[in-house]
């Protein structure tokens, strides 16, 4: 089956994450179902661009955003590109396709003041969940790691001597991220509480029942705490990652250094975090440049 063959390629050769593999499979199955229902065909390797355009119209009419449609088409394009390379098809039907226009998505990071205010809620955490939640939020903000990376941290990944944490990023790429001294103290305090919970897992972060922590719990933890101190519409782990990058850049960190800390493969990915830093830079520029201080 073409879809299974492609997914195996992504899994074993490209080492994509389970989440990404599931997304690709769902998108391809969705297109296959559309082709079957609308055109009576069951071979998505033998379709025309016109049929793909019909799918695009179908998705848009359902109210699916252009951004999501583009993501689905990206999966489809990769699918055909794979079979084109293996000489299964002569050409990629999406080769000349242009992505649908989308509004630039701007994420407003949490401010330094908001993060300082939040720390007041963790002055004296004295239960397992309170200490764990503090660790979740502080790790996300002080290291800039992704939610999926946080979930996969093992206790052995923490190196107290070197003050680093080993992170398994996208496509199983490892990197080492520095840990601030106070983070070691939080980790040690958490491990005392964690040691009282029976568990068969070596993951750093677990639930009260000893199970590995899961994505929705991390999101819920971040959202619940920031609801207390922030009016921002978006309150997610990614906004903390955004705050990490933005605050480092605001303080003069080198863009290449931030790129390495975030685990990006190219600077283009890191540059999306610079828009708020540029705003900060403009403000400093206006306040400090001599020409702007002169009275007209």
| Number of neighbours of residue 296 by Cβ within 10 angstroms | 2
The pLDDT value given to residue 249: 87
* Catalytic residue of the set 32, 132, 235, 241: 241
Cα–Cα distance, 79 to 27 (Å, whole number): 11
* Catalytic residue of the set 80, 141, 190, 273: 273
* Catalytic residue of the set 132, 147, 242, 264: 264
Q: Is 175 a catalytic residue?
A: no
Architecture field, domain 112-284? Orthogonal Bundle (1.10)
- Measured in residues, the chain has a length of 296
Domain ranges of the chain: 2-85, 112-284
Q: Is 171 a catalytic residue?
A: no
CB 2 within 8 A of CB 44: yes
**Per-residue pLDDT reduced to its tens digit, 117-176:** 998 889 888 999 999 999 999 999 999 999 999 999 999 999 999 999 999 988 788 999
Question: In the β-sheet with 164-168, what is the strand arrangement from edge to edge?
Answer: 158-159, 164-168, 174-178
CB 157 within 8 A of CB 145: no
Kindly report which listed range (23-32, 60-69, 168-177, 265-274) carries the lowest average pLDDT score.
Answer: 265-274
Q: What CATH code is assigned to 2-85? A: 1.10.150
CB 50 within 8 A of CB 36: no
* Catalytic residue of the set 81, 166, 189, 238: 238
* Catalytic residue of the set 32, 72, 132, 146: 146
**Per-residue pLDDT reduced to its tens digit, 268-292:** 778 777 665 656 556 665 776 565 6
**Crossing angle of the two packed helices 237-250 and 255-262, in degrees rounded to 10:** 160
pLDDT at 266 over 70: yes
* Catalytic residue of the set 71, 81, 97, 170: 170
Three-state DSSP at 176 gives strand
Q: Is 280 a catalytic residue?
A: no
Q: Is 146 a catalytic residue?
A: yes
pLDDT mean across residues, the chain: 89
User: Pick from 134, 255, 266, 262: which is nearest to 189 by CA?
Assistant: 134
DSSP 14-65: S---HHHHHHHHHHHHHHHHHHHHHH----TTS--HHHHHHHHHHHHHTT--
**Per-residue pLDDT reduced to its tens digit, 160-184:** 999 999 999 887 889 999 999 999 9
Q: Is 264 a catalytic residue?
A: yes
Backbone φ and ψ of 158, nearest 5°? -90, 125
> What is the pTM for the complete model shown?
0.68
Q: Is 72 a catalytic residue?
A: no
């Amino acid at each position: 089956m073409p879809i299974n063959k492609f997914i195996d390629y992504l899994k074993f050769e490209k080492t994509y994450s389970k989440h990404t593999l599931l997304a690709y499979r769902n998108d391809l199955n969705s297109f296959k179902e559309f082709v079957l229902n609308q055109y009576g065909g069951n071979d998505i390797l033998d379709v025309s661009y016109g049929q793909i355009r019909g799918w695009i119209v179908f998705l848009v009419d359902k109210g699916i955003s252009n951004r999501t449609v583009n993501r689905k088409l990206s999966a489809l394009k990769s699918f055909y590109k794979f079979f084109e390379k293996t000489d299964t098809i002569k050409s990629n039907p999406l080769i000349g396709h242009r992505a649908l226009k989308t509004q630039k998505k701007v994420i407003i990071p949490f401010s330094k003041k908001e993060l300082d205010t939040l720390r007041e809620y963790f002055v004296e955490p004295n239960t397992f969940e309170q200490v764990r939640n503090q660790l979740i939020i502080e790790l996300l903000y002080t290291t800039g790691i992704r939610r999926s990376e946080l979930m996969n941290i093992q206790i052995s990944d923490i190196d107290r001597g070197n003050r680093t944490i080993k992170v398994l990023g996208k496509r199983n790429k490892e990197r080492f991220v520095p840990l601030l001294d106070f983070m070691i103290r939080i980790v040690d305090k958490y491990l005392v509480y964690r040691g009282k919970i029976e568990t068969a897992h070596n993951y750093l972060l677990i639930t009260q029942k000893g199970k590995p922590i899961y994505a929705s719990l991390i999101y819920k933890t971040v959202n619940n705490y920031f609801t207390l101190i922030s009016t921002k519409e978006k309150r997610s782990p990614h906004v903390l990652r955004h705050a990490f990058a933005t605050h480092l850049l605001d303080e003069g960190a080198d863009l290449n250094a931030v790129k390495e800390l975030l685990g990006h493969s190219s600077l283009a990915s890191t540059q999306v975090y610079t828009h708020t830093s540029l705003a900060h830079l403009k403000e400093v520029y206006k306040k400090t440049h001599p020409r702007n201080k002169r009275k007209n």
